[in-house]
Structure formats: structure tokens, C-alpha cells
Amino acid sequence: MYSSDAGVVGQWHRVHHGAFATGGSGLIFMEATGVVPEGRISIGCPGIWNDEQVAAFKPITAFAHAMGTHMGIQLAHAGRKGSTTRPGADHPFATAEEGGWETVSASATAYHGMPTPRALTIEEIHSLTKSFAQAATRAVEAGFDVIELHAAHGYLFHQFYSPLSNDRTDEYGGSFENRTRFLLETTKAVRDAIPTGTPLFVRISASDWVEGGWTIEESIALCREFKILGVDLIDVSSGGNVHNAPIKPGPGYQVPFSESIRSQAQIMTSAVGMIWQPELAQEIVASGKADAVMLGREMLRNPHWAQMAAEKLGVKISVPIQYERARTL
């Protein structure tokens, strides 16, 4: 699943914020799947909080497996960034009549331009940890091979560990230990709920990019805790919790975060963010800055990116039989 002598070209890619790495069979991810109805981003987002959803996912994972591909799922709770309408709607936030809900967060602090959330009680935090574990169990039952916790981009876990969105005074706020408690407790619960051999990933925002916010040093400390809990790989992104953070994106701009976490926390990482060129992806993995490179928007722009990259780098990969006649290798 990770880097190999073949280089970055392999068949591990995920749909939307897609993954792409080396070796083995393919891996496609189902992204941002709510563990409770109020955990979704929009009223149109998927969920896995009941048995009917498990049954609906099974034909999808079975088809992927029949094609020689593994399936992963990203378990998520949007927190204060939830209850939006579907893309293309003429208004941003869903009404109760449309299926909208009151959002929750670490504290009653709104994200830029969004409704003010309600602060979760300690009992609700504990309940959500159980919901994540139950969703992970359902995901395995549904045929998913990899579980990822989405703790990045200003969603609920990030709202807890960032001091910019967490002003609690109880055991879930204040110190680094307290702000990361919810995520670490949930990680342990999920790891305990799934089979030992099932890979567990965590997606984090390595930095808030603003003074007084979450830092790369804190991310490294957090990832050392993840390793102890049995997390297999850190999906390293950044930002998302502050709307006007002075981020200057460019090709590979988040790779230094992945490299720092990989070397200092001694845990496998994936690099993301404007990694469009096969040569750049190859260099990131070959030089040890990450164990995998993940693609999102580029896979939306070019669903055949993997095949193109393989041919550019001179690596022969498996392709659907319909594409065999188009090979250049």
C-alpha cells in the first residue's frame, strides 16, 4: 500500500481528496461520511449510522473488490461547519424544513459567516466517541478495508484541538492534553472496535497557519500519541479552521508538514496539496518525505491521472481491459 521500488506509481487512489501511492491493489476512499445525522457537512452527504446504510454500501464495496480494488471510508463529524445545503443551492444553510439541524462544537463560537453552534456537553462528547466506534464497526461490516478519522479542515475534532475554537474550561479544553482528549479517546475506541489487521488512518490539519493557533510542534506531539494507539498512517493536511489564514498554496506546499511528522513522530504519513506532477509525487515518496501521496482535485480534473503518471514514469500498472489498446508501454 505504501512506497516501493516501483516508485510513486501504483493503484492506490481515492475519490475526492483521493489517495495515490505505490504497490498493491487499488484503494478508493468514500470521503466525509457522517457518524450521526448531525455530523454531516450538508444535507446531501452520506452517513453510516444505521444498518440500512450498511446494506446500501455493501454492493459498492463488493463491486470494488471484484475489480481488484480495496475500499476505505473516512468517518467524520463536521461540527460547526455542518447543516449546509447541497452544492449549487441558492442559499448556504439548510432550514429545518429542508433537513437542517442545530450545529455543535467544542465551544459556542461560530466559523466565519456560519450560524453559532452549541457547545457539546461532556456526556455528548462521550456519546460521539461511541458513535465513531459503532460507525467503524458498521464500516467493516459493509466491506470497507481501511478506516480513516477526519480530524482536519476545521471539522469537529479540529475544533477541539485548536485553541482558536476551543475555550472550554473542563477536561476537554485549555491544555494540549485536554484539547486533544476527545480525538485520542475516539481513536482508541475505533482502534479497539475494528479488527487488528484493519488499517487505521487519521487526517489532521498540521497547522492553523496563524499565530496563537494549532502548530506543527503540537501535531508532532499528537502523532506520537497516535502511534502508541495503533494508528497506521497520518494523512497530513493543514488549515481550515480560520477563514482568512495567510496560506500561500503552491505545488507541494504542505509536504514539509508530512516530512516533519514522519521523521519526528516516527509514523507513516501521506502528503497532500497541489501535487499534480508525477515527477513531484515520485520525488516526495522516493526522498522519504512521505510514504504516500494523495490526490483530490487533480483526480476530479483527470480521472486517468494514475495511468498517465505510470506511463510518464515508465511503470506498467493494471488497467481495465478496455484501456489496454491505448497503452504506450
Annotated active-site positions, please?
A: 155
- Count the Cβ atoms, other than its own, within 10 Å of residue 79: 25
| Residue whose C-alpha is closest to residue 210's, from 174, 257, 244, 171 | 244
Q: What is the dihedral of CA 33, 247, 298, 60, to 10 degrees?
A: -10
Q: DSSP of 96-131, one letter per residue?
A: TTTT----EESSS---TTSPPPEEPPHHHHHHHHHH
Q: Do 102 and 96 contact (CB within 8 A), yes or no?
A: no
Which residue reads 501511492 in cell numbers? 21
Q: Do 273 and 258 contact (CB within 8 A), yes or no?
A: no
Please, is 3 exposed, middle or buried when counting C-beta atoms within 10 Å of its C-beta (0-12, 13-18, 19+)? Answer: buried
